[in-house]
Chains A and B, each alone.
Chain A
């Protein structure tokens, strides 16, 4: 076994990964029953329940459902304390380049990226047909958000179903708008660019203005995340690489898949010229299994993808504002 910064695992594929060419195993479809509140619980739309509780106060099972949803949120999300981040405004990542300081309030961030199993609930519930959760100017583009067999769904699915062997892997092949729609459907939202960086850098307000280069600390270690150097060549389950967790237990902020954030990418190049994309650029963070440079997966590295891009290495996780009594 080699050692060093770019040591590569000689076992090219993790046991949980799917080898190309293997027969796909479609996942089961979701079946729900009962009224809207009970269906929301069955489809794990906990954010919808806890944030929209006023509309269900008279429901006979509200109290038990609400408690279950709160408990689920407590398990699935972690607190990110308030802080301050410096967002780079230049694509030339060198000291002295323009930055902006952005304060972040405390919020809840999902411990894992959204999985294929999670997203299946959205698809089976007809998420792509619920126009109210999509921006109006995106409606004409919904027709393009199809899987390999022409069914509504992430790009790499088939027949509207994910491969059950990848149930716990992050969902990929979804554009920014699909990520935002899922979050809205579930009662959550996408983290902002600054919030994501706060979660990864842990720059908590205090006398010591310290931040982490990576969620686990300042030194890159190939075993703590899934980047190109890790040698896996594909996504891993969202529970993998526990040694790379942030202080609050959030996993895989770095590596595995890039993550959409709710931020428009506005940067200048080294000569001060505005950088634009062929279409609207949305910020993505964290690096993925095919990220070659570890320094392009740090807590402060900002990059982007076309908002309509449905890439095999971009997923997302959800955020939630703190719940008030």
Chain B
């Protein structure tokens, strides 16, 4: 089954416009913005985050009409570096330094006793409406349709226990040898049941900056060997928080009357990530700390930066939904909805 090539979305400002022109027009993004001129750009805003997203996507699946070898175009890489510096320095400012990786992860191991009004999965479980869940799935599709891909970049940078544990968990993420159980495939099944378009990158146009930033963070950590500790911290955060969150989302889908195939993605994550959490904490984080103890602050930074950007995304989604408004830049057309059950 062939899938259409991802389409370039519309630019959201000068930076993403320069990238757009360079990708489709084949021109270098001249003049390159210098760091002072980037200072005026919101590091978490639509323009910078989309520009970064477009450049990162060259390392995954690329875009229709853009030659594959633009991935290693030195002008584009130079621009990417400037954008990354702006994003990363903002994160370093907003996420206080934290030396203790174990403490950072322990903080994620406690579950709230009741309904957490700041949590998206809590909201969807108890009060969420179908249109909100569809928006949630559309926004998350940017990552889940390439689930676990950004984390594979860290593999050659790990050794021993950390590498063995990382590869074992990734093997599970990629279906343990079975194409129809690749987690990205399970998510596509979920989207189809919700009447969403399952093409890779289809919802990029609709996705707000807050969600782009969460995916850009993984690409940033994954592509830079210097940030391998932060990548492991990110991966640990995802695996530790996924199981209870997936439980709530599976409950939400049942309450909303979704098909069993839609529920399967989250049911699988409840059980799989209860295991992955243990392997990642003990083998991957523990193994990396034994090998390279000086990376501890980076692991903790990865944990906290992930939480910081996830909290921003949650605030954006819940803020819009509580006013009865779409959280997307382009509301989903509702020509396809679940049939009433």
Partners in one complex: no
Q: Which B residues lie at the A interface, using CB under 8 A?
A: none
